[in-house]
Amino acid sequence: MISIPTNPLSDGARAVVRRLTEKGFTALWAGGCVRDLIMGRAPKDFDVATSAVPDQVERLFPGAVTVGKSFGVVRVRVQTHEYEVATFRKDQAYRDGRHPEGVVFTDEQTDAQRRDFTVNALFLDPLTGAVRDYVGGQADLAARLIRAVGRPDDRFVEDHLRMMRAVRFAATLDFKLDPAMADAIRRHAPQIEKVSAERLQQELTRILLEAPQPGVAIELLQAVGLLPVILPEVSALRGQEQPTQFHPEGDVWTHTIMMLNAMRQPDLRLAYAVLLHDVGKPGTAKFVENRIRFDCHAGVGATLAEGILKRLRLPNDDIKAIAFCIGNHMRFMDVQRMRKATLCRLVGAPTFATELELHRLDCAASHGDMTNHAFLVAFQAARRAEPVLPKPWITGHDILSLGVTAGREIGRWKQMVYDAQLEGLVENREAALAWLRRELAAAGR
Instruction: Kindly state the smallest distance separating residue 237's Cβ from ligand ATP, in Å.
Output: 28
Instruction: Kindly state the smallest distance separating residue 106's Cβ from ligand ATP, in Å.
Output: 15
Which stretch in 27-35, 136-144, 170-178, 405-413 sits in contact with Mg ion by CB under 5 A? Answer: 27-35
Among 9, 14, 16, 32, binds ligand ATP (CB under 6 A): 32
Q: Total residues at the site for ligand ATP (CB under 6 A)? A: 10
Which stretch in 75-83, 159-167, 213-221, 372-380 sits in contact with ligand ATP by CB under 6 A? Answer: 159-167
Instruction: Kindly state the smallest distance separating residue 36's Cβ from Mg ion, in Å.
Output: 9
3 state DSSP class of 294 = strand
- The nearer residue to ligand ATP, 68 or 243, going by C-beta atoms, is 68
Number of H helices, E strands in the chain: 23, 13
Please enumerate in sequence order all residues whose Cβ is within 8 A of that of 110, keeping only pairs 6 or more positions apart, or say none: 88, 90
Alpha-carbon distance 169 to 35, whole Å?
A: 11
3 state DSSP class of 246 = coil
Please enumerate in sequence order all residues whose Cβ is within 8 A of that of 278, keeping only pairs 6 or more positions apart, or say none: 237, 252, 255, 256, 297, 301
C-alpha pair distances (Å), 260 with each of 95, 171, 268, 292, 358: 37, 13, 12, 24, 10
Among 162, 277, 297, 360, binds ligand ATP (CB under 6 A): 162
Please enumerate in sequence order all residues whose Cβ is within 8 A of that of 105, keeping only pairs 6 or more positions apart, or say none: 53, 72, 87, 88, 89, 90
Contact between residue 187 and residue 221 where contact means Cβ atoms under 8 Å apart: no
Which stretch in 157-165, 302-310, 349-357, 399-407 sits in contact with ligand ATP by CB under 6 A? Answer: 157-165
Q: Does 203 bind ligand ATP (CB under 6 A)?
A: no
Instruction: Kindly state the smallest distance separating residue 159's Cβ from ligand ATP, in Å.
Output: 5
Alpha-carbon torsion (434, 438, 440, 441), positive or negative: positive
Q: Does 89 bind ligand ATP (CB under 6 A)?
A: no
Q: Does 121 bind ligand ATP (CB under 6 A)?
A: yes
Task: Pick what 178 binds: Mg ion, ligand ATP, none; C-beta below 5 to 8 Å, kind-dependent.
Answer: none
3 state DSSP class of 117 = strand
Q: Does 32 bind Mg ion (CB under 5 A)?
A: yes
Could you tell me how far CA 298 lies from the centroid of its own chain? 22
Among 58, 133, 159, 233, binds ligand ATP (CB under 6 A): 159
List residues near Mg ion by CB under 5 A.
32
List residues near ligand ATP by CB under 6 A.
31-32, 47, 115-116, 120-121, 159, 161-162
